[in-house]
Amino acid sequence: MITSTEMRILEQNSVALGIPTRLLMENAGAAVAKIIVNKFGKRGKAVVFAGKGGNAGDGFVAARHLAQFGFKVDVVLLYDKDEINNVDTKENLKILEKMSSSVKLLRRTIDVLEPVKADIIIDAILGVGVKPPLREPVKTAIEILNESVGYKVSVDVPSGLNPDTGEIAGNAVKANLTVTFHDTKPGLIKAKEYVGELHVAKIGIPPEARLFVGPGNVMFEIPRKPRDAHKGVGGKVAIIGGSETYTGAPALAALAALRTGSDLAYVIAPEKTAYVISSFSPNIIAIKYEGKHLSINVLTEIANLLNKVNSIVLGPGLGVHKDTIKAVIEIAKYAVNQGKFLVLDADALKSIALKEVSFNGRAILTPHLGELAMLAGVSVNEVKERREEVVKEVSKKYNAVVLSKGPVDIIAYSDQVIYNKTGNPGMSVGGTGDTLSGIIGSILARRVNPFKAAYLGAFINGLAGDLAYKTYGERILATDIIDKIPEVLEKPLESYVRVYG
């Protein structure tokens, strides 16, 4: 099964891999025509009802292919040419305009729209883009198509049917045959009386579009702030880290979280360290506690704040004092019990490796190779030999998402696995793990599930690093990555193509 959002993600990831949407449209329309010809032969009368989006473009391609097989084809245009809002659809309409001897284009407004009679009637009105209530001319077009006489074929999804839920938006095309693309949409199984016979046509989306996180995931899986957003809608993140030696790590995580879209980022650190961190940027809210390092006593001091935030990043620059190790365990347990999302990095990973904690699927662990070996209780050589299996084992051991950092990142939750290949050698510089943690913490604060937040964070951090690499080469800094985060979020596909061609 595949949802409409997942399908859009795969399409954009395919574009990032070099497969233009025009080619996917060509393959889709050709598949519809081929199924019709295989079922009914190479001659007959076909009428295509066409809307203005990508579904109409699929219908235009199908019309062209049916014409080459000897069909007489009429295309009923429900919209004027300048109303068509899809570039590929417009280009395929231009081709049909040059085929006047084999394809007849008929512009029909709702006042002159009437039932037709044909061997094949193709529904290319709406596809997956249904938003109730139905508006004109779509509402009337669906009624007229259902009244028409002929074998009805819906392109991808019967118009008016929600592809994810099977719900009907007031009315829907009752097809004899539906040709859906790439994989079955769940709504098609729930509304068989509208779908008719179901065919699944592959249209050239490569396995890599799903195996690797890509621009499409960023475009469709990170919630956008509404126009009437108020403080807090973007989420609140707490970063627990910092020590006398390391002050920059939690500050980098906080700034990365803010650049990713969090409304507030708190850094909870020892008193002297907090003063230093607050001097880095006025955007960071530094919360100080007494002492030189994290201890169990701090949990009592900061519990109220932790209850108010949406996610917690635990570990950047924390240190591994024996009191800190105990505190990390207790804070992690407290956070899980309170239903908070957690990111654990660096020194926090060393702490939980000493005492196994179950995170109930609410935490993301971000180990490098050595830390992964430590969490698994195996040698680094064994991790190198069977890294993916070790990542899965650690995920199950801690009941947490594991993001194994490397030349190709492996992200796993139990047996779910996805890969990320953004990033470059320049990102070996200190602080890039902290920016990663901040980005993930910010996405978690928007209530994105941890598995998605982990792979989205890996992609964004790596691609921001790639953009910085194009400017600075191997001399990039963690702050350069933070500066590039907005560009990746606003233009993920363009950013990816700029780097990877």
Q: What is the 3-state secondary structure (H, E, C) of 50-115?
A: ECCCHHHHHHHHHHHHHHHCCEEEEEEECCCHHHCCCHHHHHHHHHHHCCCCCEEEEECCCCCCCC
Query: What does the pLDDT look like over 52-87, one tens digit per residue?
Result: 999 999 999 999 999 999 999 999 999 999 999 899
CATH of residue 333's domain is: 3.40.1190.20
Same domain membership, residue 443 and residue 299: yes
Domain boundary among 183, 211, 239: 211
Q: What is the pLDDT of residue 23?
A: 98
Same domain membership, residue 450 and residue 495: yes
Q: What is the pLDDT of residue 292?
A: 87
pTM: 0.95
**Cα-based distances in Å from 318 to 107, 214, 368, 402, 407:** 68, 32, 17, 20, 26
Q: Quick check: 208 and 10 in contact, CB under 8 A?
A: no
Same domain membership, residue 256 and residue 177: no
Q: What is the pLDDT of residue 432?
A: 97
Angstrom distance (rounded) from CA 501 to CA 495: 10
**CA angle 76-100-112, nearest 5°?**
25
Percent of the residues in the chain that have a pLDDT greater than 70, as a whole number? 100
Same domain membership, residue 296 and residue 185: no
Same domain membership, residue 304 and residue 199: no
Question: What's the mean pLDDT in 129-156?
Answer: 96
Residue 479 neighbours by CB under 8 Å, 6+ apart: 252, 255, 431
Query: What does the pLDDT look like over 267-312, one tens digit per residue?
Result: 999 999 999 999 999 999 999 998 888 999 889 889 999 999 999 9
Q: What is the pLDDT of residue 3?
A: 96
In a domain, 102, yes or no: yes
Angstrom distance (rounded) from CA 24 to CA 46: 23
Query: Cα dihedral sign for 391, 339, 294, 356?
Result: negative
Same domain membership, residue 413 and residue 295: yes
Q: What is the pLDDT of residue 85?
A: 86
Q: What is the pLDDT of residue 9?
A: 98
Name which of 165, 163, 199, 197 is nearest 35 in CA terms: 199
Cβ atoms within 10 A of the Cβ of 111, count? 8
Confidence band, pLDDT 50/70/90 cuts, at residue 226 = confident
Q: What is the pLDDT of residue 462?
A: 98
Instruction: Identify the helix (H) or strand (E) that includes residue 21.
Output: helix 21-40
Q: What is the pLDDT of residue 232?
A: 79
In a domain, 216, yes or no: no
Query: What does the mean pLDDT of the chain come to?
Result: 96
Percent of the residues in the chain that have a pLDDT greater than 90, as a whole number? 91
Q: What is the pLDDT of residue 103?
A: 98
Same domain membership, residue 95 and residue 198: yes
Confidence band, pLDDT 50/70/90 cuts, at residue 213 = very high
In which domain, by residue range, is 199 found? 4-211
Same domain membership, residue 406 and residue 306: yes
Same domain membership, residue 474 and residue 344: yes
Question: What's the mean pLDDT in 360-367?
Answer: 97
Three-class secondary structure of residue 134 per DSSP: coil
With tokens 């950047």, the residue in question is 316
Same domain membership, residue 159 and residue 99: yes
